[in-house]
């Protein structure tokens, strides 16, 4: 891989140079005025760290237990659609990088690679699911994910309707180019379906999904503590605090600002994950100190993929892990499990 990037932010710059404007804007953009997109990242800059000293801990353990997987450090690859749009190897390259790093890849329902090819890489894979209005088709997708060997279902719950993404409208970005399609939207008869959202979804739909599968359910898109409490009551194995990277409803606060209230509502009953704005190892540390079991990254994966395929994604994961280990050492912690809010200064 030919890159001089030493940080995730520099990989973003490389991706911008390599990709067509419409494609980069699709990755980079968000809803309306993109206040939430910016808030997700800027929030970490105003959260300070107050390190402890003289505590030993030269040997660190970053291993983290999640539903259906034990990962090497507290980071997973959040679902991102259309990965072959930024690199020909797409989701396969991402899964290979995840396997090498010892972590989970969440495969998007709108992946441009079949789920079977993704799990064949040997990575631990979770399947992201938007429950479709055609419930029989959703049952088909769940069964397909189970047969492919996915370890969990990540049910996205913040997509009642599609967000207003003005960059895409200005660029006329409405369809995939010829040769690419959403491979996991093919039904049992071989017909390609469109991803649809359902504004009529209720907790009862989640109950029916839970009764239909033995896979653990991770609810992605939780921001309100009452919804976190209900998720646990309705059998979620984990909740993922997410505002969809600012791509759905603008002016939702940064996920790290919403995290503590969700953690209190869950009260240790299931793991709490977070995505949105993670760009540094110190961001991971701050989220874990505020109660997250692990974090997810989305855009950085696509930046690395665009910049260098599998090696680019590997570089993203290596940089973030190294930065996390360094930050833990400088905060006097032997691992993320030791972190508490006393190292945080708001």
Within 10 angstroms of residue 339's Cβ, the number of other Cβ atoms is 24
Which two structure tokens, joined as six digits, stand for 303?
A: 């930046």
Based on the residue annotation, tell me whether 234 is a catalytic residue of this protein.
no
Which two structure tokens, joined as six digits, stand for 181?
A: 């399609």
The answer for residues whose C-beta is within 8 angstroms of residue 119's C-beta and 6 or more apart is 95, 125, 148, 149, 150
Residue of 140, 224, 234, 244 with catalytic role: 244
Q: What does the CA dihedral 9, 90, 103, 263 come to, rounded to 10 degrees? A: 60
Measured distance CA(115)–CA(324) in Å, rounded: 30
Measured distance CA(194)–CA(182) in Å, rounded: 8
For residue 340, how far is the Cα from the chain centroid? 23
Rg (CA), the chain: 19
Measured distance CA(104)–CA(98) in Å, rounded: 6
Question: Which positions are annotated as active-site residues?
Answer: 244
């Amino acid at each position: 891989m030919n890159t001089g990037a030493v940080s995730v932010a520099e990989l973003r710059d490389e991706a911008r140079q390599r990709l067509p404007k419409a494609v980069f804007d699709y990755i980079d953009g968000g809803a309306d005025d993109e206040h939430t997109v910016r808030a997700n990242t800027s929030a970490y800059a105003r959260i300070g760290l107050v390190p402890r000293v003289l505590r030993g801990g030269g040997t660190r353990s970053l291993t983290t237990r999640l539903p259906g997987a034990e990962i090497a450090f507290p980071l997973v690859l959040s679902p991102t659609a259309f990965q072959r749009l930024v690199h020909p190897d797409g989701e396969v390259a991402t899964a290979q990088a995840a396997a090498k790093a010892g972590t989970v890849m969440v495969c998007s329902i709108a992946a441009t690679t079949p789920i079977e090819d993704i799990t064949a890489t040997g990575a631990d894979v979770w399947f992201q699911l938007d429950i479709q209005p055609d419930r029989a088709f959703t049952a088909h997708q769940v069964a397909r994910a189970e047969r492919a060997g996915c370890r969990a279902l990540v049910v996205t719950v913040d997509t009642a309707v599609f967000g207003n993404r003005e960059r895409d409208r200005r660029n006329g970005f409405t369809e995939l180019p010829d040769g690419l399609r959403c491979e996991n939207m093919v039904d049992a008869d071989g017909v390609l379906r469109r991803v649809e959202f359902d504004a009529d979804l209720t907790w009862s739909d989640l109950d029916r999904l839970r009764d239909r599968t033995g896979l653990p359910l991770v609810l992605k898109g939780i921001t309100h503590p009452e919804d976190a409490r209900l998720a646990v009551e309705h059998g979620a194995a984990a909740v993922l605090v997410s505002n969809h990277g600012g791509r759905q409803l603008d002016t939702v606060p940064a996920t790290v600002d919403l995290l503590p209230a969700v953690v209190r509502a869950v009260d240790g009953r299931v793991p709490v994950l977070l995505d949105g704005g993670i760009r540094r190892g110190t961001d991971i540390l701050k989220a874990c100190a505020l109660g997250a079991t692990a974090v997810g990254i989305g855009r950085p994966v696509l930046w690395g993929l665009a910049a260098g395929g599998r090696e680019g994604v590997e570089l993203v994961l290596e940089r973030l892990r190294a930065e996390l280990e360094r930050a833990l050492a400088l905060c006097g912690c032997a691992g993320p499990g030791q972190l508490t809010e006393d190292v945080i200064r708001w």
